[in-house]
Amino acid sequence: MEGMTTICPQCGSGKLSPCQGSKPVKCDECEWTGTDRQLIKVPIPKNPNSLEIDQDGALEIAKHISKQYMLLLYKDASQVLGRCILQAGLVGKQDSKNLGRMIKAACVGAHQSTLLEAESISREYDTGRLLS
């Protein structure tokens, strides 16, 4: 049987630590705390670098990685992107509504492009030719 791993039900991170009290598990990446039973159990894919979708488990992991990446983008990149958008003059400093829309679009774009590239890289590994 394949090995199993557990991931955070909120952000999909595998970085989980034991903690005290009625909720004995906490996630190192987000604020989630809970019990072992609440954790999502997924089989470890044979090639953890691949995002192949022919196995439900691999698809589940890919979904969680994707979601976590999006959360990290929003959390860590929003300020930087907002500053770039303002400095480039794409939107006025007072127009916080449209600035918010642009930051969201930038995060979504970065997210999609990265995942597409990860897929290409994975395909190149599969076919044995890796382009630089």
Among 7, 25, 26, 32, contact with Zn ion (rule: CB under 5 A): 32
Q: Which of 73, 64, 56, 66 is nearest to 39 (CA)?
A: 64
Q: CB-hemisphere CA count at 13 Å for 3?
A: 7
Q: Which is nearer to Zn ion, 36 or 126 (CB)?
A: 36
Residue type at 118?
A
Binding to Zn ion by residue 33, rule CB under 5 A? no
The Cα 84–Cα 91 span in angstroms is: 10
Q: Which of residues 9-28 bind Zn ion (CB under 5 A)?
A: 10-11, 13, 27
Q: Which of residues 92-121 bind Zn ion (CB under 5 A)?
A: none
Residue partners of 88: CB distance under 8 A and separation at least 6: none
Binding to Zn ion by residue 30, rule CB under 5 A? yes
Binding to Zn ion by residue 8, rule CB under 5 A? yes
**Residue ranges in contact with Zn ion by CB under 5 A:** 8, 10-11, 13, 27, 29-30, 32
